[in-house]
Amino acid sequence: MAYAVKECFLTLQGEGVQSGRRAVFLRFAGCNLWSGREQDRAAAQCNFCDTDFVGTDGEGGGKFADADALADRVLQTWGNGAEDRLTVITGGEPMLQLDDELIDALHQRGFRVAVESNGTLPAVGGIDWLCVSPKAGTEVVQRSGDELKLVWPQQGIDLAELETWDFRNFLIQPMDCDARDDALDAAIELVMDRPRWRLSLQTHKIVGLA
């Protein structure tokens, strides 16, 4: 299948358990919870997204005819070094486009494949690290993985239910919003009250990376 990619660039993973690792970020265009248009934000199922995933005009973005072409772009973006290759596939919602062929092509080029999803679509097989970030009011069908990363605060989230899901790591990340300080305070308070959770910060924003 063809793939629509918003951007593909080399950076450091800024969030979650793998924070600080060199990685190629592969951002697919499109999402099933928001069109990406500001006029639709208020009515969207996810109305606090801080990412531009519309179109294919970002750094390293474009339309790729097949899995080998896109995997070659990821390899080219990685540059030198054959060890510890990591690509983080995100969006939008990557499960709208991610398939077995692309994962196989990336594995053939020596990459570990990490994926960041909203969990409303089932994950394909072969993913090496799966992060799910649930959104209030949506039906999360992918209830297992390596990392559950909850943006906080969100009204309508049942923390006790989330804690029954099969994840190795439970992370709370303050929402990037106008009330950032309040969101950070709320996240810290939650972690202090529920020690199963750990605080995750968007370190790429703190240090000025994309």
Domains located in the chain, CATH noted: 3-207 (3.20.20.70)
**List of residues 6+ apart from 11 with CB closer than 8 A:** 22, 23, 25, 204, 209, 210
State the helix-helix crossing angle for 67-78 and 100-108, rounded to 10 degrees: 40
Given 7, 15, 28, 31, the catalytic residue? 31
Residue of 49, 87, 93, 167 marked catalytic? 49
pLDDT for 210 equals 65
| Displacement of CA 174 from its chain's centroid (Å) | 15
Q: What is the pLDDT along the chain (210 residues), one digit of tens a residue?
A: 799 999 999 999 999 999 999 999 999 999 998 888 899 898 888 887 888 899 999 999 999 999 999 999 999 999 998 889 999 999 999 999 999 999 999 999 999 999 999 999 999 999 999 999 999 999 999 999 999 999 999 999 999 999 999 999 999 999 988 888 999 999 999 999 999 999 999 888 888 776
* CA 72 from centroid of its chain's CA atoms: 21
Instruction: Give the pair of three-digit tokens for residue 93.
Output: 């919602």
Q: What pLDDT does residue 209 have? A: 78
Residue 116 annotated among the catalytic residues of the structure: yes
Residue 82, token pair as written in the block: 């054959």
How many Cβ atoms are within 10 Å of 156's Cβ, its own excluded?
8
Q: How far apart are CA 9 and CA 29, in angstroms?
A: 14
Catalytic annotation on 50? yes
Q: Which of 25, 28, 53, 64 is catalytic?
A: 25
What contacts 32, CB < 8 A, 6 or more positions away?
A: 93, 96, 118, 120, 121
Known catalytic residue: 204? yes
Q: How many CB atoms lie within 10 A of CB 18?
A: 18
- Concerning whether 49 is annotated as a catalytic residue, the answer is yes
Q: How many CA atoms lie within 13 A of 75 on its CB side?
A: 15
Is 46 marked active-site? yes
Residue 48 among the catalytic residues: no
